[in-house]
Amino acid sequence: MRTEKEILELIVSIAKNDDRILAVIMVGSRANEEIPKDKYQDFDIAYIVNDVKPFYNNMKWIEENFGKPLIFQLPEDMSPEIFQPIGDGHFTALMIFNDGIRIDLTIDKNYDPDIDKGEPAIILLDKIGLLKLLNIDKNYWYVKPPTPKLFYDCCNEFWWCLNNVVKGIARDELPYAMNMYNCIVRDMLDKMIEWYVGVNYDFSVSTGKNGKYFRKLLPKEIYEKYKKTYSDSEYSNFWDSLYAVNELFHITAEKVAKYLNVEYNQNEEDGMIKYMNMIRNDCIE
């Protein structure tokens, strides 16, 4: 496998030798000095250009410069039924090469500091001072404290959507119940955990994309509770994970509420747990 130095030299040399490329930015975990390096980290690269068209869907240019990928994906060229393209004119090529190196290359006319929310950015090359006024402040990728309304809305969405999960279990609709649980309920849980981490670290850290740094940032006992929120397809275990997620949400939400100086809506929680118990008793009978 090629080293990080070799890959970065390749990425920058391609840009230096192509007048159409004005600047190069690296985002993602490799740009985060607080994250330990490992060989699995992607190279998240943005080439800033005058005109995206010559590069758009141009796999010939990619193979001539980077080599032939082992496998690749072109999100902006995919069917909207599979992946909804952003459609803002940029082009992205996600590539894994024979030695296991992955490069996520975005070609764009503009640099958006939120190109990869949750991670910092590093300027690798700036030919014409295009980015000299850009203040890449790592504060932008820190967890941000919620407003009281956002906090309450998150709590409401979490507790309300649990009714769909338990009804799915009662009806033996496993795919529906799992989808509601893992795509909606868990999303609200993860938001609350992000804020909980923010409170613990004075909102001066990032939890990473999709909470990948939860294990590192959460107290051990909290992370152990988080692990219990995952379930297999057995309904008895599914019910156990639901009560585990309820307990964890309560613990983290109470701490965030205290930080915001607002009152946690215990009635909302009590109401849903009562409803869940009703449904579970029906399942047992």
Q: Which CATH architecture has domain 4-141?
A: 2-Layer Sandwich (3.30)
Question: Is 86 in contact with 76 (CB distance < 8 Å)?
Answer: yes
> Matching CATH topology for 4-141 and 148-284?
no
pLDDT band at 28 (very low <50, low <70, confident <90, very high): confident
Please tell me the distance from the alpha carbon of residue 264 to that of residue 93, in angstroms, as a whole number. 45
- The enclosing H or E element of 227 equals helix 220-227
Beta bridge partners of 92: 106
In words, the CATH class of domain 148-284 is mainly alpha
**pLDDT tens, position by position, 41-92:** 899 999 999 999 999 989 999 999 999 999 999 888 877 777 666 656 789 9
pLDDT tens per residue across span 209-243: 889 899 999 999 999 999 999 999 999 999 999 99
Q: Which of 23-32, 111-120, 210-219 has the lowest mean pLDDT?
A: 111-120
CB 24 within 8 A of CB 12: yes
Q: Residue ranges of the domains in the chain? A: 4-141, 148-284
236: CB partners within 8 A, 6+ apart = none
pLDDT band at 135 (very low <50, low <70, confident <90, very high): low
The pTM of this model reads 0.75
Does pLDDT of 178 surpass 60?
Answer: yes
| Beta carbons of 143 and 174 less than 8 angstroms apart | no
Q: Enter the tokens of residue 89.
A: 């004119």
**Structure tokens, 219:** 């107290």
